[in-house]
Structure 1
Amino acid sequence: MGQQKKAQLLTVTAAVYVTDNTLRITFSNGEERLLDFTPLMQQGICRKLQDKNYFKSFTLDPFTIDWNNEIGFASEYLYEQSVRL
């Protein structure tokens, strides 16, 4: 029996504010994608993202985008919700 290839963990390697509620995100697979966060800003703590200054103040942790250790999304989710450039 041969060894199965382990799936590589998908992470966010870079993110840049584009306009309004949109970020250009680079993933560890090399793809650059655009994500409009508007639909994600409608409920719960994610409403904080409606504040432009807060939205722009994201950082990257080793896996994904983070807002003040309060809001974060799985990198796979960000990938699925975004569109390829």
Structure 2
Amino acid sequence: MESVVRVLPRDNFTLELWFDTGDHRLFDMTPYLDKGVFTRLKNLAEFKRAYVGFDTVCWPDNLDLAPETLFDRSVPLGEELPL
């Protein structure tokens, strides 16, 4: 399983991710922002509080995404989805 080693939250609600495999990928969070606990991440300041913890991306108050979701549903950097 891939582990996240670095995250950079962008202004357009995407996460730039680096994995322990050497992969550098882009994950679009917008489909998640209307779902359950993730709605609070619609606040850009809150979204930008993302950090790496437990091999994945986390936010304060025990919010996280599984690293396999981040890897499987992201695209290699340079193949970004149209905004």
Bigger Rg, structure 1 or 2? 1
CA distance in 2: counterparts of 1:69 and 1:29, whole angstroms = 28
Aligned to 1:29: 21
Q: Give how far 1:60 is off.
A: 1.1
2:66 to 74, 77, 80: 74
Aligned-residue CA RMSD (Å):
1.1
1:20 to 12, 30, 36: 12
CA distance in 2: counterparts of 1:18 and 1:44, whole angstroms = 21
Amino acid at match of 2:36: G
CA distance in 1: counterparts of 2:41 and 2:23, whole angstroms = 24
Q: Give how far 1:69 is off.
A: 3.5
Calculate percent identity across the aligned residue pairs. Answer: 29
Q: Give how far 1:76 is off.
A: 0.6
CA distance in 1: counterparts of 2:61 and 2:52, whole angstroms = 10
| TM-score normalised by length of structure 1 | 0.83
| TM-score normalised by length of structure 2 | 0.85
Q: Give how far 1:38 is off.
A: 0.2
How many equivalent pairs are there? 77
In structure 2, stretches of 5+ residues that fail to align are 78-83
2:57 to 57, 65, 80: 65
In structure 1, stretches of 5+ residues that fail to align are 1-8
User: 1:42 aligns to what SS in structure 2?
Assistant: coil
Structure 1 outlier segments of 4+, above 3 Å: none
CA distance in 2: counterparts of 1:68 and 1:17, whole angstroms = 14
Check conservation: 2:11, 2:44, Cα contact below 8 A.
no
